Structure 1
């Protein structure tokens, strides 16, 4: 019985097992059987085939770029980790009005050296600085690294290793697809200005990624939600397209060339803590292209030799066909200066490649230097560049030309040269002359892109009378360098013949190109120094080879828009011409067009021309001449303008600036271009120059001059001469007209400023001093007391009621200022 029970239990168990198995089989009949997942690696790194699947689209280049649906991966070879790369962020497409008119397609927003670093199972993209350096072999390098720790721009998880483990794979979608501030085209100032709330993820995406042998190009489309966008306000958003370029920097940096301030160059600097100096040695290098001769032996024999890699500029595909030849000429005008440096065909201009020639051509691609043609109402052109901070080597540059810029040149051509130049007496300037202007603007901007800053002393190299000599101007142009702001010959007078009115490349440009670009067979920057110094000293006495800094706003030798070596005489000629133009302006504009638009525009710009001529003479007063030189050269670096020149300049200003220039107040013009504001326009212009004379830094320089030589023109001399001229009606008893009344009240306002305000640091002046402890307040108080006495005496004899009221008002203002209680 017991045995039977056991058998029955066994049979029942088998039956139940069979039934359960059938049920499970039936239940799973419609399910697809899944293979067991492979075990995950503890470090999170997956097999390559699971990350870069058969669906991936791959672009070979510096890195392999893989795209799977909307996810992007970089496959970075291990031997590219720790390598220096330049990450350049540019705006590729821009909405109208963003940034106030000086932001365009092609504008660079950031430039930074980065490298990819492995840390455990992550890849870090780290910013790298060369501001502080020391050789790896030196112990102090450890301290340099510790005290200049590199920020991490982004951290990427390693998703996989390549099949042979020679590369790492990282997902870069988030880095390029979200609002990463380090590469954003939306800086903090714009976020505040346009009240940007956030990046709209649904309307932002990676447009494309392309990999080339030495660079990666990424195009991003970003849309930001903003309360006050610069255009299309009803959308409440700002859309822009960004281009991110990452280029591998040369394994062997170009040999730097040491900077000397006596020759103008854009530069890059670093502090060398490995120097034998008793401090961190600040080394400054030129920013220049790497030009090396193909045939070094022939080059050293003095033969013209082509460079291994010439400088090539492409034209923007959007450049109007009728302007292309002038742009090309402006670029290749620099070939002559490179020949002086021993190179032929060193700089070339090319049309943009067609789609068939290069389907991937993009002006934002860092492989190409491009002259960008920008459809914008902005009137300007610029020549920025991208450089390697290790050596100063220029990697790429874009020249930016704004469409409306030729309008400025047409207007100034008419205003500044039409008196002596009949072809400028029209709104329809001949095409060849407009083309020549554009050519020289492009040449100027290319000069910037080659490494040259403005040289404001170049126009001071020539005698004023030489500008009236046709043979001289045809040979030498109007300045010793195209890099000066000397656009037109405004000195030449009616009847002068064969005059060149437009600037051109000059002798300084040849000299500076040779100094910076000539290949020297030397193994270090220091080994070149003696040769470079010798070349400077050989030219030291010739004003054609002088460099004048744009920042030298105190130096009458280095002024923007000024030509000739005597600002008073040059401005005298300029005003003669401008008076002729003012008389004929309606005839050349509104009489031809039958509307007043051009007349109004040119009249406004004519006031600006008048103001520039006056400003050139103002600089003489309290002026200090700067002549950069080494101790072994004769003379001092700084020298105050002589007393006689300053005194004569004050007389000139009284006669031409502060005596009412009634020829500018032409009712036939004013009453046809505006209904009001006639007296205020002139007051603003005159007050600008009055305030310039009565500035803390100018008075401070005049006080400084007394500490060097009591025979110099003093602050008291200047203040007395100014007061006596501005208030000459007080002595003569004459009626004071409305323009003079406005100017005299502006004088009181400015004296109040000098009495009550403190000096603030300014980019216009490096001079800051304690005004309260200086002579300034005492001098101003004394001048106001003297003026008050004369006004009190004169008001009883005033010839008209308004003049008497005016004197009463000024006395009351001075009383309030001197005794506020």
Structure 2
């Protein structure tokens, strides 16, 4: 078999900008020193050294960190994972948390004369070593040196060298830096303050090294003003030895959702470098191969084991363990039993070496933090896609998110949701499913936002259906609470759960194919499994990133987004009058009421967004060239028209149900008008977003008789938003704000003629559309503005004419 050599691409840093890693090089000797010329080991690593044996032996001598690197580990592939272990309050707007990964890259330690270099390696570009193109690939993908240090000493039997490693962690190295270029600019970071930067700890384990170091930066505008012009953060660098026995990769297919790794093969027979992807997954091999071949359930040689963090409260541990081991149902579809195991943290007596930092242990970490989130990261061998280790992170305050959401979206239907002290059975089930969702990520599965559209919307009101099938075919969808269920719908399920898509995806990614000796030999079988499910929406995948497919949206439920949002808004209208009672606690202020009410506003906005996506929407069904039918199909015109009708009724009319004065008088003085204007304006801007309008124009050209045209949409919208103009009714403050927003959004397109910042819009029909709509509105206002007897409304119409004139004159 031809041995393949994999080489570095031009990008070594993924999370911190598109630059070559910055090198740190201590002064190197002019020639290779003889061992006899170096210091004695005992003179460098003195009796006062604090040492930790493992992959490398780490030594602290005074304030200096030394690595004692075994010669046997030179040229070995190691994964350097950089994470943020501690951040100041408000860093990154609160979206960068402790545990956030900064970078992940393969490194090799290489001896060069009297120095040891750390080189960054990539496996993106590859070529056969015996191929003529190999030398060109090698020459055009030269490995950069991230760090270099001179050899200080050899150990007694010459099996290890000692280098000073502090320079890697005490200087600013962009490839492992915790502050992105965007945040450096935002906080006006000047430089690293070395006097306030230091190595906090270094620990060595059998397969990894862990170094924690504090980095302090001088900054003009740090996230917290009381920090005296500095940003200090704790970084954690993990260096992990990659396995010698490599897992066979599995080729990715975009019809089944997986996290992937990009590859380029320069030996491809294609007339280009063949680009492809492999999936990220754990290495599961059957213990009893013959039994596995017979179709029996077999345990894997090395199961996936998650330990609970010792900090996990006892009452929540059963739910965490259930969430982890729920995935065994899916692995059984792939032929494995007991493939994933949850364990309590071992005591010192049971396992004195146990540490969450040890790469041999995957841990569900319970973090005491006000962050309202949970994440499921993993560490992957980029050579093969093998997941090496994973630490799920549960932030304590994530309970608060689910408590609030349960009250808001289920309070109208479910008495258990009408309290801030959510019953343990319900909150525990939510935690279980959140952990299961995050474990899904750690197994290699991304979000499948298309899954929820497979179920008929009204089926979510059925106890029989929801108890059997859940809210969506995949727990990897964002479908947290059943907001479709209505009062009187008894025994329905309110919390998501694992579904048929999850079982299908795990079988596709993890079933062992013993007869296949390469990833390419697996492809026919994998394609067959996909084609067997083709046409069944339960097994379709969509990541929801395009923003164009209404069937692939976060937090959406059911196939009919308009009907689902009608149900959701109907429930919100029943919840609002009860929030004071449900959130109040004697002797306390109304902070919880304020918080829950504002989150309800956010959910209302989400329901509107689900409907808006239908307008100018395009259904995407992922297919390959051997499958018949179109991949992209426009949303039918009647659905788009119904969507605008819903928006005129629920988004662009004054939401009096949200303006409960008994509630508002307890949390604010006069912010309601501005808040409603902001929510309505965002919905309007979303509806009139340029890409949506362009899709509608394009669809009209190819489907003229059946398309819902942009002119029809703008006419329906204008008649809804300006209904008082055509009925001579009084326009209230909320409606006047919305009408001003309509003129401002339309005018913003026309004003681009003055700035000429967006040639794409300037050269499109959008300009003609918006100018025509403004002129039409102006003419309608001039004909009708003096009808009725409400003076402020008349002034308002005159103001709109002035705004329109100003916008149109700006183009002259």
Alignment partner, residue 15 of structure 1? none
Paired position in structure 1 for 2:428: 435
Q: Per-residue displacement from partner, 1:453-472 (whole Å, max 9, x unpaired)? A: 11011111111111111111
Confirm or deny that 1:728 pairs with 2:723. Answer: yes
* Alignment correspondent of 1:536: 530
Shift of 1:125: 0.6
Q: Which of 502, 526, 549 in structure 1 is aligned with 2:495? A: 502
| 1:347 pairs with one of 325, 336, 340 | 340
* SS in structure 1 at match of 2:724: helix
Q: CA deviation at 1:221?
A: 4.3
Specify which of 768, 778, 793 is matched with residue 803 of structure 1: 793
* Matched position secondary structure for 2:762: coil
Whether the 8 Å CA contact 2:170–2:199 is kept in 1: the answer is: yes
Q: How does 1:149-548 map to 2 (within 5 A)?
A: 149-194=142-187, 198-201=191-194, 203-224=196-217, 229-230=222-223, 233=226, 237-521=230-514, 522-548=516-542
TM-score under structure 1 length normalisation: 0.90
- Measured after TM superposition, the shift of residue 196 of structure 1 is 5.0
Structure 1 contact 51–159 (Cα < 8 Å) conserved: no
**Structure 2 CA distance, aligned partners of 1:42 and 1:686?**
75
Counterpart pick for 2:746 among 747, 751, 756:
751
> SS of the residue aligned with 2:646?
helix
Q: Does structure 2 conserve the Cα–Cα contact (< 8 Å) formed by 1:759 and 1:771?
A: no
CA contact (8 A) 2:41 2:155 kept: no
- For residues 49 and 364 of structure 1, the distance between their equivalents in structure 2, rounded to whole angstroms, comes to 29
Q: Which moved more, 1:628-637 or 1:64-73?
A: 64-73
| 1:703-722 matched pairs, under 5 angstroms | 703-711=697-705, 712-722=707-717
Greater mean deviation of Cα atoms: 468-477 or 713-722: 713-722
State whether residues 35 and 153 of structure 2, in contact with CA within 8 Å, keep that contact through their aligned partners in structure 1: no
Give the aligned partner of residue 780 of structure 2: 790
Tell me what 1:737 maps to: 732
Distance in 2 (alpha carbons) for counterparts of 1:424 and 1:412: 9
Corresponding residue number in structure 1 for 2:38: 46
Partners of 2:53 and 2:597 in 1: how far apart? 59
Q: Measure, in 2, the Cα distance between the counterparts of 1:575 and 1:312.
A: 43
**Maintained 8 Å contact 2:451/2:473:** yes
| Counterpart for residue 695 of structure 1 | 689
TM-superposed deviation, 1:401:
1.5
The answer as to whether partners of 2:306 and 2:364 remain within 8 angstroms in 1 is yes
Alignment check: 8 A CA contact 1:492 1:499 kept: yes
The change in CA–CA distance for 1:231 and 1:356 in structure 2 (over 3 A counts) is farther
Question: How far apart, in 1, do the equivalents of 2:643 and 2:508 lie?
Answer: 37
CA 1:785–1:97: 2 relative to 1, 3 Å: closer
Q: Supply the distance in 2 between the matched residues of 1:359 and 1:179 (Cα, whole angstroms).
A: 36
Contact 1:410-1:434 at 8 Å conserved across structures:
yes
Query: 164-173 or 638-647: which moved more?
Result: 164-173
The alpha carbon displacement at 1:211 in A equals 3.0
SS in 1 for 2:275: strand
* Residue pair 1:285, 1:392 contacting (<8 A) in 2 also: yes
Report the Cα distance in structure 2 between the residues aligned to 1:759 and 1:162, rounded to whole angstroms. Answer: 73
Mapped to 2, the partners of 1:232 and 1:797 lie a distance apart of: 55
Distance 1:386 1:640 in 2: 39
What is the deviation of 1:354?
A: 2.9
CA shift in 2, pair 1:157/1:681, >3 Å = same
Structure 1 residues 98 and 609 mapped into 2: Cα distance closer, same or farther (>3 Å)? closer
Query: Per-residue displacement from partner, 1:195-215 (whole Å, max 9, x unpaired)?
Result: 555555555443443333322
SS of the residue aligned with 1:209? Answer: strand
Separation of aligned partners in 1, 2:214 and 2:760: 52
Structure 1 partner of 2:609: 615
CA distance in 2, matches of 1:45, 1:338: 59
Per-residue CA shift, 1:694-714, capped at 9, x if unaligned? 111111000110122112111
Q: Distance in 2 between matches of 1:337 and 1:358?
A: 30
After superposition, the CA RMSD in angstroms is 2.5
Structure 2 residues not aligned, in runs of 5+? 1-31
Contact kept? 1:416, 1:488, Cα under 8 Å:
yes
Aligned partners of 1:537 and 1:89: how far apart in 2? 40
Q: Would you say 1:770 and 2:760 are equivalent positions? A: yes
Q: 1:746/1:198 Cα in 2 relative to 1: closer, same or farther (>3 Å)?
A: closer
Match of 1:28 in 2: none
Q: Residues 108 and 817 of structure 1: is their aligned pair in 2 closer, same or farther, counting only changes over 3 Å?
A: closer
Deviates more, 1:520-529 or 1:654-663: 654-663
Mean alpha-carbon deviation: is it higher for 188-197 or for 246-255? Answer: 188-197
Aligned to 1:30: none
In the other structure, the counterpart of 1:121 is 114
Judged with a 3 Å threshold, the aligned counterparts in structure 2 of structure 1 residues 54 and 327 are, in CA distance, closer, same or farther, namely same
- The 1:209/1:578 distance shift into structure 2, 3 A limit, reads closer
Determine which of 625, 633, 648 is the counterpart of 1:654: 648
Q: Equivalents in 1 of 2:461, 2:33: separation in Å?
A: 84
1:631 aligned onto 2:618: no
Give the structure with higher Rg (CA). Answer: 1
Q: CA 1:806–1:116 in 2, change beyond 3 Å: closer, same or farther?
A: same
Unaligned runs of 5+ in 1: 1-39, 763-767
